Amino acid sequence: MKINELVGQLTLIGVSGHTLTNDEKKFIVENNISGVVLFGRNVSEPKQIRDLCAEIQSLRHKMADRAPLFIGIDMEGGRVHRLKKPFTQWPPLKNIGDLDAPTVAFHFAHRMGVELMSVGINLDFAPCVDIFTNPKNTVIGDRAVSTDAHQVEKMASALVRGYIKSGILSCAKHFPGHGHTIIDSHEELPVEEATLERLHEIELVPFKKALRSRVDMVMTAHILFKNVDPKWPVTMSPLFLKQMIRDELKYRGLIITDDLDMKAMAKHYDKAEIPVRSLEAGADLLLYCNEPESPPVAIESVSNAVGLGRLQRSELEAIHQKVMDVKKIKLLSPDPRPIEDAMTVIGCDDHQYLADCIRNHKMPEGLSDS
Cβ-contact 151, 100 below 8 angstroms:
yes
Does residue 218 lie within any of the structural domains? yes
186 is catalytic: yes
258, 259, 261, 284: the catalytic one is 258
Q: Is 284 a catalytic residue?
A: no
Max CA distance (Å), the chain: 61
Query: Would you say residue 16 lies in a domain?
Result: yes
pLDDT at 271: 97
pLDDT of residue 161: 97
- Residue 275 in contact with residue 301, Cβ under 8 Å? yes
365 falls within a domain:
no
- Among 23, 186, 335, 361, the active-site one is 186
What is the number of domains present in the chain?
A: 1
Buried b (16+ CB within 10 A) or exposed e, 221-237: bbbbbeebbeebbbbbb
| 3-class SS of residue 219 | strand
- Low-confidence residues of the chain: pLDDT under 70: 370
Parent domain of 321: 3-359
pLDDT recorded at residue 184: 87
370 within a domain of the structure (yes/no): no
The reply to whether 338 falls in a domain is yes
> Is 194 within a domain?
yes
The pairing of strands 169-175 and 217-220 is parallel
CATH number at residue 90: 3.20.20.300
Q: Is residue 366 part of a domain?
A: no
Is 368 inside any structural domain?
no
Task: Report the percent of the chain where pLDDT is more than 90.
Answer: 94
Write down the pLDDT at residue 370. 62
